[in-house]
Every structure is written in C-alpha cells, then in structure tokens.
Amino acid sequence: MKKSNSSWLALLFCFIFIQNCATNKLFLVQDLASISNLEAVRLETPNIEVQGLGRMLTSAVGGFVLMGGLGSAIMVDANTNKMKVEEMDFGELVMKQFINKVNIEFPNWPSTTIKEQPVPENYIGTSTLLEFKVDRLFLGWLGTVNGGNGFLSTTIVTMKDINGKVLWKKTCKYNSGMFKRNKKIDEFLAKNGELLKEEITFAVKVTVSDLIENLKGGKEN
C-alpha cells in the first residue's frame, strides 16, 4: 500500500512539473522569417489591488473617488476598493515599450501594427497575434522572503498564428523585493502616488527586458 502511494505521488509531481513547464513556450528566433506581419493587442488592464485600501478611504459613494483631491493621479473604485493610476495603463505601457525595443534588438522583426484599444478575451486577429495580458497588479504585503510591502505584477504575453497555434508564450512576474525596492504602502501613495508611479515605470522596464531576454533564448521561465 505504501509503495502504491509513493508511485501515485511520483506521478502527481511529474504531472505538476510538466504542467509548469508548459506554461511558457520558448520562441525560435529563426522562425521570424515565416511571419510577414504581426498584430499587437492587449486585454483590459485590471485595477491595482491594494491591501487595506478600504480603510484608507474617508468617504465613498460609488463609482470612482480621488485620493488626494482634485488633480489626483490616483483613482479608487469605491465598489471594489481597487485603484488605478491615471495615464499609467500597465498593459499598454508594456506593449508599446516592447514593440519599440524589439524592433531595435531584432532588425528582422516583422512589421507590427498596434491595436490601441483593449480587445476581448478571445479576440481573433487577421494575422499572427501578439497578445499582452496583465493578469494581476497588487500593492501590499509580499511576504518576508520578498522583504515586506511592495508592488507586484504578473504579465502574460502570447504569440499565436492565424490558426491559434501558440508560437511563443512568456509569463513575467515582478515584485519590489526582487530589487530591494520595498516601502510601506503609505510611502508609495504619498505625494499623489509619486513613488508608486516610479515603481510602475520600473516594473514595466523590467518586464519588457525580461521578454526581450526570453526571445534571445536567455531564459525559459
């Protein structure tokens, strides 16, 4: 019976390992020659989850409220207690900065058109599709291993051909602890979110660099 349980556990761990490996798909750069053009799209970027944000609001009557009064860059959805920073759409920033950088790093990169507005989950393009999806944005406790409070982002980029076959897939995770940029939540939100905006800008830069390095074959996970 014990032997049977051990065998079952071994199979389970193998299955989990295979599933995790299948999360990403390394792109063969030489395959660029087979792609005539790309359509870059993004899904709607979620608002930032902020730990304890509800307690920070003094009044909320529904819809969006401003933190810091008129002219504030930080807006909070009073219904969900999630926050967004005006003019800093994480998914849009990653997509546009990636396209700019990849054309420099790969001179033979296919002609790419950018769809400005977010697309629905199962959007079907008319050519090879490069889809940017921000899975999560979070500000709060990241755990003792990651140094306490900070900003976290998870971004998934998928390249699919016209038939839906995945050519490349990469999940990029960023958290402030990776670069010892942890701060208290109040510090991130002070002065109209000045430090939070800096952190978002830095996280976008790291995410784009991670994507480029993955294309170069530098890493697969």
Q: Report pLDDT digits (tens) over 95-111.
A: 999 999 999 999 889 99
The more confident residue out of 55 and 218 is 55
The more confident residue out of 68 and 218 is 68
Average pLDDT, the chain: 84
Average pLDDT in the 37-62 region? 80
What pLDDT, on a 0 to 100 scale, did the predictor assign at position 207?
98
Could you tell me the pLDDT band of residue 70, with boundaries at 50, 70 and 90? very low
Q: Tell me the domains of the chain and their CATH numbers.
A: 25-215 (3.30.160)
Percent of the chain with pLDDT over 70: 80
Amino acid present at 11? L
Average pLDDT in the 179-184 region? 95
Query: With 50 as the cut, is the pLDDT of residue 12 above it?
Result: no
Three state DSSP letters for the chain: CHHHHHHHHHHHHHHHHHHHHCCCECCCHHHHHHCCEEEEEEECCCCEEECCHHHHCCCCCCCEEECCCCCCCEEEECCCCEEEECCCCHHHHHHHHHHHHHHHHCCCCCEEEECCCCECCCCCCCCEEEEEEEEEEEEEECCCCCCCEEEEEEEEEEEECCCCCEEEEEEEEEEHHHHCCCCCHHHHHHHHHHHHHHHHHHHHHHHHHHHHHHHCCCCCC
